[in-house]
A and B are shown apart, each in its own frame.
Chain A
Amino acid sequence: METIDPDSINAELLERDDGDEPPQVVPPVVAVVVTTADGPWFEESLAALGAQDYPALSVLVLDSGSADDPTDRVAAALPGAFVRRCEPGASFAATANDVLASVEGAVFLLFSHDDVALDPDAVRLMVEEAYRSNAGIVGPKVVDHDQPDVLVEVGMAVDHYGVPFSGLEPGEVDQEQHDGVRDVFFVSHTAMLVRADLFHELGGFDTLTDPGADDIDLCWRARLAGARVIVAPAARAREGTSVDAERAARRHTPAELRSEVRSRVRLLCKSYSALALLWVLPVAFLLDSLEALGLLLTGRFAKSGAIVSGWCTAFAHPRDLRRARAGAQRLRRVDDGDVRDLMIRGSARVRRFMIERVHAGERFADVSSRTRLRVDDARGRVRRAPAIVATVVALVVLVGVRGLLTGHVTEVGWFRSWPGVGNAWSTFSGSWRTTLMGAPRPASPVFALMSVFSAVLLDHPGLAHSLVVGGALPLGTFGAYRLLRRFSSAALPGVAAAAAYAANPIARNAIWRGELGPLVCFALAPFLLGAFVRLTESADDENGSDLRRRRAHCLITIALLTAIAGCFWPPAILLAPAIAVACCVAIPVVGSARKTFVALAGTAAAALAGIVLLAPWSLSLLSADAATLGAQPRDPLTLAAVLHFHTGRAGAGLASWGILAAGFVPLAIATGPRFVWAARAWVLAVLSFGLAWLPGRISPGASTLAPEGVLVAAAIGLAFAAGLGVAAVLDDLRRFHFGWRQVMMVVAGAGLFLAVVGLAADTTSGRFGLHGEDWPTTLSWMSENPPSGGFRVLWVGDPTILPADAKTAGDIGFATTRDGIGDARALWAADEQHADRVLADMLTSASAGTTERLGHLLAPAGIRYVVFLERAAPKSGPFGRDESAIGDALARQLDLTLSRVEESGVVYDNEAWMPMHALVPPSANDVHYTDAEPQEAAVQSEANGVVGVDAPGGSTAAVGPGTLLWSEAANGGWKASTGGNPVARQDAFGWTNAFPLTANAPVHVHYDGSAVASLVRLFAIVLWLVAIALWVVTRRRRAARRGGESAGEVPEQPAVDLTVAAE
């Protein structure tokens, strides 16, 4: 054996004649063994190369400074090998780079140490894999020389700071657990097959990154150049000294440590983009500083200094460093982001410490694999679980409202008993609204709905009322479940959404407070959102006609739901537009601008149609006061209370935060349309939170909407997101390793569970705290033995707790009912009229202490009782705000007699009251009804001699002569006639009506309403019928289409808007 001229290698390697077989062209491989020839395994290593079954393998032994010439040893072990003696003491990299000049024609270069023994098929397998995977660099599986079942290396990773990390535990047994071919960040030059042209393009190893980072550097630059670095575990190599052991040995001396730090810093400076360096270098420096500090504190001063010195020496030759970096960056064809995918997060040193010292890696791997198994297993199980979970949620909800569904609904707040079919319809169709002092305004269409619903139930308004109050929560829950059907084939997401929605405290608080409007809004919001979601869909298989029909159906649904919710609670008209606006706000995050704006326009049109359906009542809202629109003075909520829906007795604990946590999951893990809708849902929730919190924050004394209503949007948004999160967990989470996502999922699941437990805990009463006596029951005696002429009851206190729709005088709420405790007809009051303002001024006067004759002032309104309330019900329900000023003022009135004292309310008799319909005989001179100034007229008027006049249907028995007082707000529309002859009307007391009667005769009094309003109402009724018909028609055709699909056509799958995802 002799040293050969490298130029001679080329020809010999190209072809090999194998007898009869046609000559095969195999890529020539040159195995480059860098040796110091002082190891015990050198010969074995050469022999292994000689035993390779790869036909075109040549071996070049590069001697980097052996004490003795190794040529003889090489010749003895592998006669065909070439030996080249290099500069003594040169590093591995410098020695290996010799091939750049000495080897030509090789397609692959196989660098290896002199203590590495390759299995006979290793080279072939690596070459084959290089071709198969189109890899630039291929590494084998490296095992221990003496214990071949112990793994040493199967590809390597680095952290963001260039520290290598193998991921193997010390002594990890090879059980083929790593036997998949995969991309790795780098393979060490223990055995490294490199495409020769790539090696040349890269300029070989960077000698200044040796020791410790030369192989990392080569592979990193290869990756930047777009080449793959893979490990082919089928190819195996046995190593006499493990890489880690070798590196650990290198770090034994401070000089080596300094070199390694220098190498690593150089590596970072070369390989990262400039932007990444801005954060990588400081963090790397910080970590090294911490290590140096640790070493310093433990007395290893030299090593500590070596780290610092390593950093300094790395920048000792900036020009060279800049040149090296320019060379590396010149090769760049991929972004840092692609390179970082194969890096590990955190610190490799910490990980290595954990793995080496506490075997955490095994545990991590175990947990990770077990988690995956569990997730897969759970995924299988949860396909069966939804039915159980759904049943549990449904039972909890139904048990929670059982008392409301089956029993009397406590008349708190707006849960006033519903009038019968006839009374409700006449209220709807009447021209004169009978709330407070009356107003020439149409009534809310809610009375028409009451009438129709009660009629359907065979004139059982109580049952209808119970079904609406008790059914709202179940209906909303079902709506939330249905909402998610389009986003997952599994039922569990829907169940999760239903649970999150049902567990939201706002529904319970709405029930507790008697907030009927927000409760209805809560029930309908999921359907509204569902219609909006369907509106934005664009299934490819739909033809134009079907698409138009489906969109029409959605728009009609939105219009009808808006109308229904709006007539119960006017601000609900804005819910659908709010959803659309939220989607628009989310455009920067999720895109899909064009479709979203189209949906916004459609939704606005549908909401407008909803407003038209509510005409003429909706028109009267245009100039209405805040109270008519549902805004009342309320104590502001804290942000924390808003965020966890703590608007009343429910939601005070931590459980409600779980809904927020559950809703957060899809933002982190969902992809495609699920993420899109999760983002939109969160924007909706944030808007809702803002609307619930900011007004009170900005102006604490201002009137605000019921937070239970405003937060409905947040509730459905978060429930929607929670459902999407579960869908993502089922379908998307499997793609992630064990980490924070799984932890977050568990936290969110626990939170959701807690929220449901909170709901369950509230179900014991079956009424969500809405129990006990109510004011109408307690004060029902008022309605007994009604006096002739009728009377009013004035309710005073916090406007949010009064059992009638209240107006405000300052922040004092007041409302009236007629002939006793009244019913739902006292709700949905007309906008404030002059007469209502007069009433308010009187209360303000009393509260300010400027009158002690409030009874006299109220007398023209027919107010017989004044009820001051501090709580929504005598012994339960929410307390109102402190209204002690008016409470004390009422006690100071000379003409109000304390009639009844309850635990949370006081009733006063008005000793100066006059019946609503009364005759003032000519002899009664103390009634100054002709005075124009209301307070002056009333304050000295005495009701002596005034006689109440019954007027059923506006007709009286024979009365007169005298003056008939008609205690409705003064309005020229009031007409009276006697014997067919009209009676002139005049204002009484400056705010009611009077009809002078010259003779004793029956009188008929009626309000002559506007014919236009009646026509508009009729038009609206027709519109309702048309809208319902269209809704049914479009729905039926969809059903028919579905029927066709089930008959064999391909069903539309998936239902979600994939085009959105694509965008």
Chain B
Amino acid sequence: MKSRRFLFIVVLVALVAVGLAVGNGSSAAPEHVAVPASGTNASALASSNTVWFCPGAPAKVYPASAGRVTLSNIGDAAAEADVTDLADDGTPTHTQLRVPADSVVTRPRDAFGGPGALTVETFGGRVVVEEGITASKAFESTPCATRTSTHWYFAAGSTPRGVEQWLVITNPYASDAKVDVTLRTSGGVRKPDDLQAMDVARRSRSVIAVHDYAVRLDRVAVEVDAEVGSVVASQVSVFTADAGGPGAAQTIGSPAPASEWTLLGGIARRHASTYVAIANVGDETAQVDVQATDAHKKASISPLILTVVQDAVVWVQLGECEGAAAKTCLTIPDGTHYMVDVRAEQNVSIVAQSFSRYEIASGALATTTALGAITPERSYVFGRSSPSDAVGTSIAVFNPSGVAASVDVSTTTGGRVTRLSTLQHVVLGPGAQVTLSVPRSRRGPNPDAAVTLTSSQPVFVERTIIVEDEASTSAGVVAG
């Protein structure tokens, strides 16, 4: 019994020792399955039902009749869309819409009710929703947001004489939201009291005239932070004749900053004003490299290295450097197609956004803006390509990867999908950029078509639509 007792105690101690040796159960608990994040700041098209949030344009500038809403169904099945107009007058309106398979439906904004934000819920099919402005010397078409966020960032904004900068914040949910708006300007950081802890009532939008809070300032970058709830923010810059020529530029913000941004589709034009606005939203001063690459020669253009202190916003002029401050101008020869890479060292969070005004064939001034892209993707969809008065539509594609990418482009409208042979298997070498012209559809009464781009490698894309008196630039919707 004595030896058994000893053995028993030894076994007990050994069990504990082995247990401790194996580990103290310190293995981490399994990580919770989170919502798959695409990592992109662009809207994303889910494989099934999707909700689209369209903030709309400020009613004081553009009446609802000037707005356009395009629903493009690239799916094989017809889709039902529930459009809820969160009208500014507080009377929501529900409209149900059927979008046939492989077709594009464009409706004037006032078809869904008075001015306000729209919530478009789609069931079945694969529907991309864009909203825009079609007015005299004002044209915009940009994808609506597929997600809300607690943060939104804009880098490019200015309020000189003749320029209005509008911020539209939409709360599509059934609970009130509370937001703070921060303006990073050439005159310092401003947090107007009115814009702090500002309520955005449930299912409504707030339209803020930024130019009233940041008066006559060259550079105004905007940040929206939701203390409570989750919102969508968009910005509309309106240029009047006092600003050299009328125009409008609209974009949904970026829900997150990043340390590296890619902006493409640039063309160095004479007498154009093209900028990259860079806002430092991080916690420290950023050393920022602005590197332009000639798309045809695939040659780097002499980079610009900037020091952007915390909360500062810097505009870098692209081309036309004569007379400009050399420190903030990147010399690019006229006629060069280029893309720009903006990178902050040491992972400081910045936001980069392009802004351009240039003369088009009609002699009018085109006003465009687009936030840079953060992450390349393999598949994109654009809801429209050829508005009725479109002069030309192009899609710039940049392959940032180290291997060649094969790109296919197809258009979808009138119940059919068209794959032009010239837009199939377009090969982009590593680091190459190409600008593809999208032809007008000749099928059916509606020449407007959704454009689907797929690539064998992750790429960046940007669409530019030029109409007779204006132009619009926007990122694509990531097709998941």
- A binding-site residues for B, Cβ under 8 Å: 588-590, 635-643, 667-668, 671, 675, 679, 682, 686, 693, 696-697, 700-701, 810-811, 847-853, 881-885, 888-889, 891-898, 908-909, 911, 936, 939-940
Contact = CB atoms under 8 A, between A and B. Distances in A.
B15 interface: yes
A700 B26 CA distance: 10
A940 B28 contact: no
Contact of B121 (A642, A686, A852, A897): A852
B174 A643 contact: no
Contact of A639 (B20, B35, B172): B20
14 contacts: A639-B20, A641-B25, A668-B5, A668-B9, A693-B19, A693-B25, A696-B25, A811-B32, A851-B49, A888-B35, A896-B175, A897-B174, A898-B174, A940-B123
Q: Label chain B's interface by main secondary structure.
A: loop
Contacts of A696: 25
Given A636-B25, A696-B25, A936-B123, 20 more contacts: A589-B4, A590-B4, A635-B29, A639-B16, A639-B24, A668-B9, A675-B1, A679-B8, A686-B15, A697-B22, A701-B29, A810-B33, A849-B36, A885-B33, A891-B175, A894-B173, A897-B202, A898-B176, A911-B174, A940-B80
B119 interface: yes
A940 B7 CA distance: 70
Given A589-B4, A894-B172, A897-B174, A700 B23 contact: no
Interface of B: 1, 4-5, 7-9, 12, 15-16, 19-20, 22-30, 32-36, 46, 48-49, 51, 80, 82, 119, 121, 123, 147-148, 172-176, 202, 229-230
A750 to B, nearest CB: 21
A728 to B, nearest CB: 12
B24 A882 contact: no
A850 B15 contact: no
A697 B29 contact: no
Contacts of A885: 32-35
A700 B30 contact: yes
Contact of B26 (A638, A668, A675, A939): A638
Nearest to A702: B30
B24 A898 contact: no
Contacts of B230: 891-892
A697 B27 contact: yes
Contacts of B123: 936, 939-940
Contacts of B174: 893-898, 909, 911
Contacts of A671: 1
A656 to B, nearest CB: 15
A894 B121 contact: yes
A700 B27 contact: yes
A637 B25 contact: yes
Please give me the 5 A-B residue pairs with the lowest Cβ-Cβ distance, nearest first: A898-B175, A897-B174, A701-B30, A638-B25, A638-B24
A639 B174 CA distance: 46
A643 B25 CA distance: 12
B25 A850 contact: no
Nearest to A668: B9
Contacts of A940: 80, 82, 123
Contacts of B25: 636-639, 641-642, 693, 696-697
Contact of A682 (B12, B173, B229): B12
A853 B33 contact: no
A883 B20 contact: no
Contacts of B82: 940
B35 A847 contact: yes
A312 B9 CA distance: 40
Nearest to A672: B1
A883 B5 contact: no
B82 to A, nearest CB: 7
B197 to A, nearest CB: 16
Contacts of A590: 4
A134 B356 CA distance: 119
Contact of A939 (B29, B35, B49, B119): B49
Contacts of A898: 174-176, 229
Nearest to B11: A589
A936 B51 CA distance: 15
Given A852-B121, A882-B32, A885-B34, A697 B8 contact: no
Contacts of A675: 1, 5
A852 B147 CA distance: 10
Nearest to A1061: B1
A1039 to B, nearest CB: 36
A327 B83 CA distance: 109
A703 B121 CA distance: 37
A58 B51 CA distance: 122
B7 A589 contact: yes
Contacts of A891: 173, 175, 229-230
A148 B148 CA distance: 104
Contacts of A897: 174-175, 202
A667 B9 contact: yes
Nearest to A940: B123
B9 A643 contact: no
Contact of A892 (B1, B7, B15, B148): B148
A667 B5 contact: yes
A675 B27 CA distance: 37
A850 B49 contact: yes
A838 to B, nearest CB: 17
Given A850-B49, A851-B49, A894-B172, A700 B35 contact: no
Contacts of A588: 4
Contacts of B28: 700
A972 B414 CA distance: 47
A588 B173 CA distance: 68
Given A885-B34, A894-B172, A897-B175, A850 B46 contact: yes
Contacts of A641: 25
Contacts of A848: 35-36
Nearest to B20: A639
Nearest to B19: A639
Contacts of B33: 810-811, 847, 885
Contacts of A889: 35
Nearest to B4: A589
A675 B6 CA distance: 12
Contacts of A851: 49
Nearest to B119: A894
A851 B82 CA distance: 14
A850 B175 contact: no
Contacts of A896: 173-175
Contacts of B147: 849
Nearest to B34: A885
A897 B9 CA distance: 62
A697 B15 CA distance: 15
A913 to B, nearest CB: 12
B1 A893 contact: no
A765 B26 CA distance: 32
A893 B36 CA distance: 17
B176 A881 contact: no
Contacts of A936: 123
A888 B34 CA distance: 10
Nearest to A886: B32
A469 to B, nearest CB: 30
B51 A686 contact: no
B121 A853 contact: yes
B173 A893 contact: yes
A945 to B, nearest CB: 15
A858 to B, nearest CB: 14
A362 B111 CA distance: 108
A894 B32 contact: no
Contacts of A811: 30, 32-33
A102 B4 CA distance: 52
Nearest to A811: B32
Contacts of B7: 589
A303 to B, nearest CB: 39
A862 B12 CA distance: 55
Nearest to A926: B96
A810 B172 CA distance: 28
